[in-house]
Amino acid sequence: MPITINEFIDDPKCNRRSFLKACTITAAALGLSDAMIPRLVEAAANPQRPPVVWLHFQECTGCTESLVRGSHPDIARLILDIISLDYHETLMAAAGHQAEKQLHETMEKYQGKYLCVVEGGIPTKDNGIYCKIAGRTAMDILAEVSSKSAAVIAIGNCATYGGIQAADPNPTGAVGVWDLVHDVPVINVAGCPPNPISFLGTVLHYLTFKRLPPTDQLGRPLFAYGRKIHDQCERRAHFDEGRFAERFGDTGHLAGYCLYKVGCKGPETYANCPAVRFNDVGVWPVGVGHGCIGCTEPGFWDTMTPFYERLPNVPIPGGGGIVASAESTGKKILAVAGAAVGIHAAVGIGKRIVKGKSEK
């Protein structure tokens, strides 16, 4: 049983200080001033918690795992306490008919008021038969649950853009939620998995301001996906000075130089990872020596692979010129963009991606 917000605040292990800390971290991630923290706290502590129906389709459950098993207990606890998680197949005790009953009771009782969170891609090929729950396809379930909700939060690359299932040749015709849901607002908390604070920030913004946060053309909240990884990266000075790791384990890598030449996709990826980081130990992929693989971008399994080859056409300051030696990656990006294989668009340096429709 999740504890109540008051029990949480009174819990000596997770006391009011922890609660305020979690709200402060989230306010900072949302780009709000300190003056807004009391409003955020008030919204988070409101006993009228929004009911949430959390659907799982084609995915690995890493999004839920990263939320509830994060080493930052304040964030995990706050997420579970600001919402009323009425249906969640991974976390709920109920199963079978009992779970189905719970789902339908929530939809009827809170019609137009509950939030629908979707984790996982939705297969559309052959009438969606490749993902079924209780005898119904993911497509049918999504259509019914989303249409009665106030809004849909798609969490993870799978639910936003189809994820790994949608990678070429996309055998099940997997797509993201916003390819199918057009009658209620949909927001894309992208990433594989996303940072829990990006999800928490989205929900807290909704509770505080009664609307979803502003988004980019890909439906991602701007507070979390408004800037490139490359423009916030602690290794950027090395990039600017032309100091690169040439191979994993070489002296440049050990010295913490830029990871561009070993495949970092930070120059084409929009996310807040360098600023917000993961867990409570301040880590993120590039910070621990691995390049960004672009997990917040549509179709990254096609457009960002091979993961360990450099991006083409990135101008290197200091006389490096345009790096054009990663032709295979470049060709792949262009090929995927042309074929629109279950994704919205390929990524171009310095320009945002414009949403298009994927093949069904």
Residue nearest to ligand F3S (CB): 292
Q: Under the phi-then-psi rule, with left for phi > 0, alpha for psi from -120 to 50, and beta for the rest, what region is 342?
A: left
Q: CA-CA distances (angstroms) from residue 260 to 272, 288, 348? A: 18, 14, 16
**Of 123 and 193, which CB lies nearer to ligand FSX in the complex structure?**
193
Q: CA-CA distances (angstroms) from residue 28 to 5, 121, 264, 310, 315? A: 21, 30, 26, 33, 32
**Of 69 and 113, which CB lies nearer to ligand F3S in the complex structure?**
69
Q: Does 59 bind ligand FSX (CB under 6 A)?
A: yes
Look up tokens 């600001």; give the residue: 82
Site string (234-253) toward ligand SF4, x via CB under 6 A: -xx--x--------------
Restricted to residues 262-291, the positions that interact with ligand F3S (CB under 6 A) are 269, 271, 273, 284-286
Q: Which residues contact 96 (CB under 8 A, 6 or more apart)?
A: none
Q: Say how many CA atoms lie within 13 Å of 158 toward its Cβ.
A: 22
Q: Does 293 bind ligand F3S (CB under 6 A)?
A: yes
322 three-class SS: strand
Look up tokens 């929900």; give the residue: 203
Residue nearest to ligand SF4 (CB): 266
149 three-class SS: coil
Tell me how far apart the alpha carbons of residues 97 and 296 are, in angstroms, rounded to a whole number: 36
Q: Does 224 bind ligand F3S (CB under 6 A)?
A: no
Q: Does 312 bind ligand SF4 (CB under 6 A)?
A: no
Report what 267 binds from ligand F3S, ligand FSX, ligand SF4, none; CB cut-off 5-8 Å by kind: ligand SF4
Restricted to residues 138-167, the positions that interact with ligand FSX (CB under 6 A) are 156-158, 163-164
Binding site for ligand F3S (CB under 6 A): 191, 229, 269, 271, 273, 284-286, 292-296
Contacts with ligand FSX by CB under 6 A lie at 59-63, 119-120, 156-158, 163-164, 192-193
